Amino acid sequence: MTSVRRTSLLAAAALSVAAFVAPAAAQVTLLNVSYDPTRELYVDFNAAFAAHWQQTSGQTITINQSHGGSGSQARAVIDGLDVDVVTLALEADINAIVNNSGKIAADWRTRLPNNSAPYTSTIVFLVRQGNPKNILDWGDLVRDDVEVITPNPKTSGGARWNFLAAWAWANREFGGDEAQVTDYVREVYAHVPVLDTAARGSTTTFVERGIGDVLLAWENEAFLALEELDPGAFEIVVPSISILAEPPVAVVDGNVDRRGTREAAQAYLEYLYTPEGQEIAAANFYRPSNTGGLPAEALERFPALDLITIDDPLFGGWAEAQPRFFADGGVFDQIYQ
């Protein structure tokens, strides 16, 4: 009892200070809660949108950013992080907000074009300069002399896409013979010397520790490693087939209605789909979902490849794929002993 009373007293004291410290709300502010690799993208995009909003509405707008693991960011929104828009990695993370807090309407996916995914990405190979092991497609990953770096799909969301992309290639290669497909994927994981818990850990293993011949990575992360980490040390190989990830965005209805920011929040997300927004996404290594009106040079870094989505009958959406492949006792547990 006493500790509760003391806590609330302290909270009250802290609150009065917070009121004193908090800046006056003389202008529109939006909070965008996003996942880790989008930081550079939204630094550029926020500046462009602020200029656009100033021009069209006359209002000065400040967009604050929060980045973290996509799942933990969704958790923070559920726990009350006062956010106007979410731009997360997975549809499931926004659905978690829908189901656990009701702050986003259930039809969010249909409110913006392309399943509310303004940009997409896919899994590609990052290899060492000159591609010394001559790794060109998924089949090369199981050659005796090749070591593959990918994180553990049990703990890493990104790693599940790697797993499913490999599965998709094998399914096409072996004409849907599931035994052969399983054997291939088992063989891939037998070539993984270090199974890190998260994607950043795998990047570090490959780039900084110099372990492995090929890193399975998000295309946007691979470009980042290429251009920022160690220019000239790596190159990207685009396989014949991969998986299409559609990081979704949504307005957080419950919060924008209370804060009176719906109009600005909606305009913010819609601006992502304009040629200006799409070009910024492309410049930050995300594949634009609406290429109309974009200059050819903005797109030339994204070679065409076969892309399969998680909603393909092969996987049947995350609701089906997650338990089948990654739950305890699922396919991954069976092949990785």
Task: Give residues in contact with other proteins (CB under 8 A).
Answer: 3, 7, 10-11, 13-15, 17-18, 21-22, 31, 36, 39, 64-68, 76, 78-82, 100-101, 200, 224, 228-229
Choose between 85 and 166: whose C-beta lies nearer to other proteins: 85
Choose between 56 and 62: whose C-beta lies nearer to other proteins: 62
Q: How far is the CB of 153 from other proteins (least distance, A)?
A: 21
What residues have CB less than 8 Å from 172, skipping those under 6 apart? 241, 306
What residues have CB less than 8 Å from 197, skipping those under 6 apart? 151, 152, 155, 156
> Quick one: which of 45, 68, 48, 44 has its CA closest to 56?
48
Choose between 198 and 307: whose C-beta lies nearer to other proteins: 198
Q: How far is the CB of 49 from other proteins (least distance, A)?
A: 16
**In whole angstroms, what separates CA 226 from the centre of its chain?**
18
- d(CA 162, CA 122) in angstroms, rounded, equals 9
Q: How far is the CB of 15 from other proteins (least distance, A)?
A: 5
Half-sphere exposure of 51 (CA within 13 A, CB side): 7
The β-bridge relationship of strands 234-237 and 119-128 is: antiparallel
Q: How far is the CB of 80 from other proteins (least distance, A)?
A: 3
Q: Give me 325's structure tokens.
A: 């492949």
Q: How far is the CB of 44 from other proteins (least distance, A)?
A: 14
Q: Give me 282's structure tokens.
A: 């492309």
* Residue 22 DSSP class: S
Choose between 178 and 227: whose C-beta lies nearer to other proteins: 227
Sign of CA dihedral 94, 97, 100, 103: negative
Q: How far is the CB of 198 from other proteins (least distance, A)?
A: 10
Q: How far is the CB of 64 from other proteins (least distance, A)?
A: 5
Choose between 219 and 246: whose C-beta lies nearer to other proteins: 219
> Quick one: which of 32, 33, 35 has its CA closest to 220?
35
* Residue 236 DSSP class: E
Q: Which helix (H) or strand (E) holds 173?
A: helix 157-173
Choose between 180 and 204: whose C-beta lies nearer to other proteins: 204
Choose between 208 and 333: whose C-beta lies nearer to other proteins: 208
